[in-house]
Amino acid sequence: MRKPFLCFLSIGVAYLVNAPGKCVAEKAPLFPAELRDSATTILTGKVAQIYSSVSTSTDIEVTHFVAEVQVERVEKGKYAAPLAYVRYYRIRDVGKGSPPPGDHGHYPAPKTGEAVRVFVTAGKDGGFDVLLPNGFESRAKPTKKEK
């Protein structure tokens, strides 16, 4: 009677010790105040072009994007060029079974021609990385009264 109890107890303890390492949640969207505070630069403008590159492993497909943004206004930080190139990515599960938990990239993804506000941080290489997971904010086209 004692052996089965000790066996179940040791299995339960082993599960509890290892389970927290396996629990990973997807990153929650940042609130507008968090986006503003975390960003080193905030740009508004229009997406002129989107470039992409795909790398695939056995279970996941990572698509790296660079969005070319025609800068209309700089809301935070310093940036003087008419174009900004900002990096972001998307991850897609291509393996069998349920997809792994975790961060799956940026959403919503911008589209060519879309007016956006972009919350970015300066990368170590001097480029711009869009804040995860919702660093792109779609803007409605300004009306004649707003111009």
Residue 102's pLDDT is 59
All domains of the chain in start order, with CATH: 26-138 (2.40.50)
Mean pLDDT, consecutive 10-residue segments, the chain of 147 residues?
53 47 59 93 96 89 94 94 94 76 74 95 91 88 50
Residue 145's pLDDT is 47
User: Over the stretch 11-46, which tens digit does the pLDDT of each residue have?
Assistant: 544 544 444 443 444 678 888 999 999 999 999 999
- For 110, what's the count of Cα atoms within 13 Å in the CB-facing half-sphere? 34
Tell me, yes or no, if the pTM score tops 0.75.
Answer: no
Residue 13's pLDDT is 47
User: What distances in angstroms separate CA 78 from CA 45, 49, 55, 84, 96, one per listed residue?
Assistant: 15, 22, 33, 12, 46
* 34: its two tokens: 């968090």
CB 50 within 8 A of CB 112: yes
CB 61 within 8 A of CB 51: no
Residue 147: other Cβ atoms inside 10 A = 5
Residue 69 β-bridge partners:
47, 84
Residue that the structure tokens 């470039």 belong to: 51
CB 73 within 8 A of CB 43: yes
* 7: its two tokens: 């066996």
